[in-house]
Amino acid sequence: MRPTLPLAAAATFLILAACGPLREEEAWTPLPMERLRLKPVTLQGPPPADHARDTCDRAPEQLQDHLAGLLRKRLAPVDLVPPEAGEPAGGGTLEVSILGCHLESHQWDVGSAEPDISFYLTLSLHVRLLDPEGEVLLERMVETVEQAHTDTPTPLYELNNYPPARRVADLFSEGRYRKSRGDPAALPSP
């Protein structure tokens, strides 16, 4: 038995949607700063269930590591300041919080030649971009689904949180960010 088509299709759509062209209400806008500090990624919200705790506890560090690598390339000529470097003078701030982490698994009886467990990790992210004066330039809620197939009962080393990092990095290109008519969004602070 294979994963149901709607679940697999939804996961594929969420991942591919990040790579799509600008929507009609979006435009690339230059970042009004020389440097952008990536704050440490945090895990907020209710604690994950026991079976997901290890995977969700690793998510902030993995996401932050991927973001640092991806954003360095996407932000140029704006410099990326990693979390451990402290506050840059005259720089803006990028805050990424994991508001929800949900791990789902399905076991399949497909024989010994193929993986028999599918894991789906859903992360709900809150992304905020602040200018050097602390004004909100961009605020987004992003949800991603990462999928892994394995024959082991844990996805701890199968899921790496690259898809959510890619979704956040795709909000930036060549010293610009995706500004929509609604930015900054009227979202409550986490």
Q: How does pLDDT run across 84-133, given as a tens digit for each residue?
A: 877 767 799 999 999 999 989 888 766 666 658 888 999 999 999 999 99
- Provide the 8-state DSSP code for 181: T
Q: Check residue 21 and give its pLDDT.
A: 54
Task: Count the domains in the chain.
Answer: 1
Q: Check residue 105 and give its pLDDT.
A: 85
**Residue 186 included in any domain:** no
**Residue 91 included in any domain:** yes
* Number of other CB atoms surrounding residue 45 within 10 Å: 15
Rounded Cα gap, residues 94 and 26, in angstroms: 19
Residue among 157, 170, 84 nearest 127 (CA): 170
Residue 78's CATH number: 3.40.50.10610
Q: Check residue 117 and give its pLDDT.
A: 84
**Residue 182 included in any domain:** no
**Residue 43 included in any domain:** yes
> pTM of the entire structure?
0.78
Helix ranges (DSSP H) in 123-185: 162-169
**Residue 25 included in any domain:** no
**Residue 66 included in any domain:** yes
Domain interval for residue 132: 5-18+31-172
Rounded Cα gap, residues 185 and 138, in angstroms: 7
**Residue 73 included in any domain:** yes
Q: At what angle do helices 162-169 and 53-75 cross, to 10 degrees?
A: 30
**Residue 40 included in any domain:** yes
